[in-house]
């Protein structure tokens, strides 16, 4: 079967990690007899530099025609705000937000998994983290405070009265569809959902709770509860093993997914999938563009390679192909190879391209 895949390498370490993921794609194609038409397009700072826009129309059009999109990372050095004076206020991250919206990718799946080979890398005590932490964060991705109306009202007479607003908006339809995704996922895991909100303060959270009660009726096998976001942030550190699936808003999901990935000690390992109502999905590592180490061949390509596994699973419904990639990654770790971010004494230190090659070899040789 031939699939059209748009790759958006983006900024920082994006190009080098995507290159390794594309090698893995080809290796899977050879092994399972699939063809891929790969089309590279621009997003982020590279697009701003080349075309003056973080998400050129051509990129949007090509992504809409594709079967799946693989993205590296977006964003330049946060300490050098090169785009402060851009005439339309564009900046690299806007490209990412816009492509999510344009492709209607409202569900963002961010697994936080502890790889047993890496359990010493977790900053939490061994008894807290356990041996098989596996939390799936389901983050709403195309609404909420990220996409509500924004305003800035300047008071020329009294500057201290100048103010800015960001509206937090959710419709029942938007809440229902992300909850359905999350509950559905829970039925394929441990049937346990925690919906994270701030219902003691926010009206939109109260609506989330009402819709949750309705959606839950259709999933009798799933146990669910509600948790305030401040408590959830704490519980992730105190007792992360209590969570199976967390469903939450755009902003809370942004924050909690960084926290959850960090407690596994392997942010360089964690993939993500952004899905909508069709099989078209966007796949990207959970980590950022790490401009400080770009071009040095030291970045960990595993999160991007595992994002390709998610692509096979969620967009192409090819479970054997996804499992082959995940098994190859597991084997490379078991064989003792580590990139710098996950390296500890006694292991074999390898660079970005060598890690990609080792994974490809194990795909060819079935582990």
Binders of ligand IPM in range 146-175 (CB under 6 A): none
Binders of ligand IPM in range 244-263 (CB under 6 A): 254
The residue written with tokens 């939109």 in the block is 204
Residue 174 or 254 with smaller CB distance to Mg ion: 254
- Given 7, 42, 43, 96, the residue binding ligand IPM (CB under 6 A): 96
List the catalytic residue out of 3, 11, 146, 244. 146
To the query of whether residue 258 is one of the catalytic residues in this protein, the response is yes
96 binds, among ligand IPM, Mg ion, none (CB under 5 to 8 A by kind): ligand IPM
Binders of Mg ion in range 244-283 (CB under 5 A): 254
Residue 28 or 276 with smaller CB distance to ligand IPM: 276
Residue 9 contacts residue 307 (beta carbons within 8 Å): no
Burial of 286 per CB tally in 10 Å (0-12, 13-18, 19+)? buried
Residue 97 or 128 with smaller CB distance to ligand IPM: 97
Residue 278 contacts residue 64 (beta carbons within 8 Å): no
To the query of whether residue 198 is one of the catalytic residues in this protein, the response is yes
Q: First-to-last CA distance in the chain?
A: 24
**For the chain, where are the alpha helices, taking DSSP H only?**
14-32, 45-51, 57-65, 92-102, 126-129, 172-187, 203-216, 229-238, 250-263, 302-314, 319-334, 352-364
Residue 291 or 337 with smaller CB distance to ligand IPM: 291
The encoded tokens of residue 35 equal: 């063809």
103 interacts with ligand IPM by CB under 6 A: no
16 interacts with Mg ion by CB under 5 A: no
140 interacts with Mg ion by CB under 5 A: no
93 interacts with ligand IPM by CB under 6 A: yes
Please write down the HEC assignment for all residues of 270-320.
Answer: CEEEEECCCCCEEEEECCCCCHHHCCCCCCCCHHHHHHHHHHHHHCCCCHH
Integer Cα distance of 311 and 34 in angstroms: 14
Beta carbon of residue 120, minimum distance to ligand IPM (angstroms, whole number):
26
Burial of 100 per CB tally in 10 Å (0-12, 13-18, 19+)? buried
- The interface region with ligand IPM, picked from 92-100, 216-224, 329-337, 344-352 by CB under 6 A, is 92-100
69 interacts with ligand IPM by CB under 6 A: no
90 binds, among ligand IPM, Mg ion, none (CB under 5 to 8 A by kind): none
284 interacts with Mg ion by CB under 5 A: no
Classify strands 163-166 and 35-40 as parallel, antiparallel or unpaired.
unpaired
To the query of whether residue 254 is one of the catalytic residues in this protein, the response is yes
The helix (run of H) or strand (run of E) holding residue 196 is strand 192-197
List the catalytic residue out of 30, 49, 57, 230. 230
To the query of whether residue 230 is one of the catalytic residues in this protein, the response is yes
93 binds, among Mg ion, ligand IPM, none (CB under 5 to 8 A by kind): ligand IPM
To the query of whether residue 159 is one of the catalytic residues in this protein, the response is no
| Site for ligand IPM, rule CB under 6 A | 75, 93, 96-97, 254
Catalytic residues: 146, 198, 230, 254, 258
């Amino acid at each position: 079967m031939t699939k059209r895949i748009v790759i958006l390498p983006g900024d920082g370490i994006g190009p080098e990690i995507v290159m390794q993921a594309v090698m893995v794609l080809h290796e899977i194609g050879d092994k399972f007899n699939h063809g891929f038409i790969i089309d590279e397009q621009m997003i982020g700072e590279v697009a701003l530099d080349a075309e003056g826009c973080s998400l050129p129309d051509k990129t949007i059009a090509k992504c809409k025609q594709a079967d799946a999109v693989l993205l590296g990372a977006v964003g330049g050095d946060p300490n050098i705000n090169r785009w402060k004076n851009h005439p339309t206020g564009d900046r690299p991250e806007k490209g990412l937000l816009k492509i999510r919206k344009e492709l209607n990718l409202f569900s963002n799946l961010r697994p936080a998994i502890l790889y047993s080979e890496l359990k010493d890398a977790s900053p939490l005590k061994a008894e807290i983290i356990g041996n098989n932490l596996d939390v799936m964060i389901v983050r709403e991705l195309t609404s909420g405070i990220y996409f509500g109306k924004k305003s800035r009202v300047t008071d020329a007479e009294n500057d201290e009265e100048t103010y800015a607003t960001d509206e937090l908006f959710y419709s029942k339809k938007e809440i229902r569809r992300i909850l359905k995704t999350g509950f559905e996922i829970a039925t394929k895991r441990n049937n346990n959902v925690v919906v994270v909100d701030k219902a003691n303060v926010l009206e939109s959270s109260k609506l989330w709770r009402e819709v949750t009660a309705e959606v839950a009726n259709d999933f009798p096998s799933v146990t669910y509860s509600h948790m305030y976001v401040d408590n959830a942030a704490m519980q992730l550190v105190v007792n992360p093993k209590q969570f199976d699936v967390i469903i939450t808003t755009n902003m809370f999901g942004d924050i909690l997914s960084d926290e959850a990935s960090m407690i596994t000690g392997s942010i360089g390992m964690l993939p993500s999938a952004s899905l909508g109502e069709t099989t078209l999905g966007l796949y990207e590592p959970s980590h950022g563009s790490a401009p400080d180490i770009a071009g040095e061949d030291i970045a960990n390509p595993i999160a991007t390679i595992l994002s390709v596994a998610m692509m096979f699973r969620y967009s192409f419904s090819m479970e054997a192909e996804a499992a082959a990639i995940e098994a190859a990654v597991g084997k490379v770790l078991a064989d003792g190879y580590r990139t710098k971010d996950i390296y500890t004494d006694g292991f074999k230190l390898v660079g970005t391209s060598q890690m990609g090659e080792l994974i490809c070899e194990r795909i060819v040789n079935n582990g």
